[in-house]
Amino acid sequence: MTDAANPERLLFASTTQSFLEKGASLGRLRELHDAGKSFEMDWWQRAAELGWTSLLVPEELGGGNVSGNGVADLALVAELSGRSVAPGPLHPVSIVLAGLAEAPENHEQTIESLISGEIVASWAVYEPGKQWSPLDAAATATRTDTGYRIDGVKDRVEAAGDSAVLLVVARCDDAVRQFLVPTDAAGVTVEAQRSLDMVKTYARVQFDGVEVEATAVVGSAEQTPTLIERQSQIAAILQCAEIVGILETVLDFTIQWGFDRHSFGRPIGSYQALKHKYADLKIWFESCRATTNAAVAEVAARSPGAEMAVSIAKSYVGEHAPGMLQDCIQLHGGIGVTWEHDLHIFLRRATLYRSLFGTPEEHNLRVYALTKMGPRAWAHAQAGDRGLENAS
């Protein structure tokens, strides 16, 4: 995703890569896992100083980017992060900032704190027992004399235990709205959930009569569906970009392993059966990269085709990446299934991402809706109309 014609972007990429190699290596990841930590705040603040948190925020709000395309720059950071399966709250902080940057009124201080890395935030959108349906919120926000009372439960909230504030999706007056809720507010309970990933943490968050001020609301009722769609798109392309980085790294060292390992006096990678498998993996990888790049470009341009491009990328990458990594494990033989080898670390991250912010099956339905029935059909499906699945 680097542009050879843009020296500023090349410098940004090399600086980011160097920072990740020094402070987010696979060895460091194992150390964090053994210590029961997700990431270290001082490391995240240094990442923020490199500009990771400012890329989606306009200059008038304290943000900025290196290439004039903040979405592409952020996707580049995600791809480089995937090469070492880096820790840190890049995804949740970026998703929250994507929404706040579109509706900054009353939230300038929060934006500033997130950009500086002083605090971490996350998006509370999933609910127990529900698939990916961000506009179908069961949590409620009831108007009070001074603001709103938030009630309900959210789960699969990334880095909730490390977050100072959550962007909560809730239903208010028959409309879906978003609210910034401090995690230390009375009535907020954060309960850790098990995670497949080595360091990424998730939590179930209970909101029991949580009182927030009127200024906690983000955007108008009319604006909220557009904000949520934008945040969903950012979430999906970050996942896809990171998986592209994961796949590139794993394919490189898997193919190298094939030429380092010998059988009957010749590298096992020289055998035709393995060459065919390498070719298949390379084709699938380039397709993952192409669909991801297309989605990043559409989202960056705010194109009418962004919804379609994002769902195509999320479906294709989510469907193929875990199987590709499983193939790489098999190509390594017995050592590939050991704890000591790093392959499982990459597989864990890719498998986790397959299920978050829409599975391939859910995005296939979205593509169907956008192709055959238009955006309105998908909106009805998100709101609980299961007729779409029956029609397909």
Burial class (CB in 10 A: 0-12, 13-18, 19+), 99: buried
Say how many residues make up the chain: 392
CA diameter of the chain: 81
Residue 392 lies inside a defined structural domain of this protein: no
Distances in Å between the Cα of 389 and the Cα atoms of 127, 309, 373, 380, 382 are: 20, 20, 12, 11, 11
- Residue 378 pLDDT: 52
- Which tens digits make up the pLDDT trace of 139-174? 999 999 999 999 999 999 999 999 999 999 999 998
The whole-angstrom separation of Cα 336 and Cα 347 is 11
Q: For residues 144 and 5, which has the higher predicted lDDT (pLDDT)? A: 144
Q: Does one domain contain both 296 and 213? A: no
State the pLDDT at residue 387: 40
Dist. CA 366–CA 339, nearest whole Å: 37
CATH of the domain at 20: 1.10.540.10
Q: Transcribe 219-243 into DSSP letters.
A: S-TTTHHHHHHHHHHHHHHHHHHHH
Shared domain for 362 and 301, answered yes or no, is yes
Average pLDDT along the chain:
91
272 and 179 in one domain? no
Q: Is residue 385 part of a domain?
A: no
* Better pLDDT: 320 or 375: 320
Last residue of a domain, one of 66, 97, 119: 119
Q: Are residues 126 and 178 in the same domain?
A: yes
88 lies in which domain range?
Answer: 7-119
Pairing of strands 217-218, 175-182: antiparallel
Among 204, 219, 234, where does a domain finish?
A: 219
What would the pLDDT profile of 306-325 be if each residue is shown by its tens digit?
999 999 999 999 999 999 99
Structural domain count of the chain? 3
Verify that 92 and 157 share a domain, yes or no.
no
Q: Please report whether residue 382 resides in a domain.
A: no
Residue reference for tokens 């017995």: 334
Query: Which of 68-77, 209-218, 271-280, 377-386 is predicted with the least confidence, judged by mean pLDDT?
Result: 377-386
Instruction: Identify the helix (H) or strand (E) that includes residue 176.
Output: strand 175-182
Residue 384 lies in a domain: no
Contact 242, 353 (CB under 8 A): yes
**Three-state DSSP class for residue 330:** helix
303, part of any domain: yes
pLDDT in tens, 327-337: 999 998 888 88
**CA gap 89, 249 in Å, rounded:** 21
Domain harbouring 249, CATH code: 1.20.140.10
Residues 53 and 148 in one domain: no
Q: Higher pLDDT residue, 2 or 353? A: 353
